[in-house]
Chains A and B, each alone.
Chain A
């Protein structure tokens, strides 16, 4: 495969990353992972519920097939995010971390200052840091300078299914990026994923749209096509938008008496 996604020197065939939250069953989660064709799946870390220990979700994930990308969801500041990242590594994950710092539970918007602080610490500790950020080109630059291996701007707040509402800002991030840009959060339909890829995003991450679908596996397959179509269109070169018509049929040789 020539068109591979390369993050931190590692090659991936798929440009669709999949989250594992909110699925109604492990079977639905596995169906979505498989049919997405994804190489990277995200997981979260939580306290064991002592009275109701869950069955271990990792037993459902083929670690040879997928890169497990733990997130720091639940962290409200840099300190908590760093703590979660270290715990994820101690729990047996490779040192890859999706850095999320979301102090506000209502919109779950990422805290730019705490995210940058945590990124600086984790990069020094040898983590490959994939930070979830608002679509802020200046912040994206700072993070890349700090050594993050991607930036992950949001299309819309987590779980809203609204699509690429931050289009203009994401376009600037893509134009200036020196690492892969992964559009994360808010993508609710395959057309949204295709839109992000047509713009030149390197990958997208989808969770809620798959988890809440009537048929998560089939929705994952649809997203796979959306991502591939968008990527192929980007590589093929999209025509420029114009304000006036430009005939696609010849304007001469009409049958007129």
Chain B
């Protein structure tokens, strides 16, 4: 099975080739409605998560809201 390696929040992560962003979030047990994602420093709109195919070497930042003042 072909795999690819991405960086997710600074950590390397191996994924099946062809995985899309919505699938990755699901694997990470994250609700897509509660996060924002940057791929290679570009912010991705939520509506595009399911159609965003990830590529070997991509760098992702996945953020969510936490308590703050």
| Interface residues of A, Cβ cutoff 8 Å to B | 19-23, 29, 42-48, 50, 53-54, 56-59, 68, 70-71, 73, 86-88, 90-92, 158, 185, 205, 207-208
24 examples of A-B residue contacts, CB within 8 angstroms: A19-B67, A19-B69, A20-B69, A21-B66, A42-B69, A44-B65, A44-B68, A46-B66, A47-B9, A48-B9, A48-B30, A48-B62, A50-B9, A54-B64, A56-B34, A57-B65, A71-B69, A87-B36, A87-B43, A90-B36, A90-B44, A91-B63, A92-B34, A205-B69
Distance (whole angstroms) from the CB of B26 to the closest CB of chain A: 12
Contact yes or no, B66 A87, CB < 8 A:
no
Q: Which residues of B contact A88 (CB under 8 A)?
A: 36, 65
Nearest CB of chain A from residue B33's CB, rounded to whole Å: 7
* A59: chain B residues within 8 A (beta carbon): 34
How far apart are the CA atoms of A70 and B61 in the complex, in Å?
A: 18
Whether A90 pairs with B45 at a CB distance below 8 angstroms is: yes
Set A50, A86, A91, A208: member contacting B65, Cβ < 8 A: A91
State how many angstroms separate the Cβ of A245 from the closest Cβ of chain B.
43
Selected contact of B30 from candidates A23, A44, A53, CB within 8 Å: A53
Binary interface profile of B, 37-69, with partner A (CB < 8 Å = 1, else 0)? 110000111100000000000000111111111
Whether the pair A43, B67 counts as a contact (CB closer than 8 A) is yes
**Cβ contact within 8 Å between B63 and A19:** no
Known: A48-B28, A56-B31. A43 touches B61 (CB 8 A): no
B8 contacts partner chain A, Cβ-Cβ < 8 Å: yes
**A158 (CB) vs chain B CBs: closest residue:** B69
Q: Closest 4 interchain pairs by CB?
A: A44-B68, A19-B69, A207-B69, A91-B36
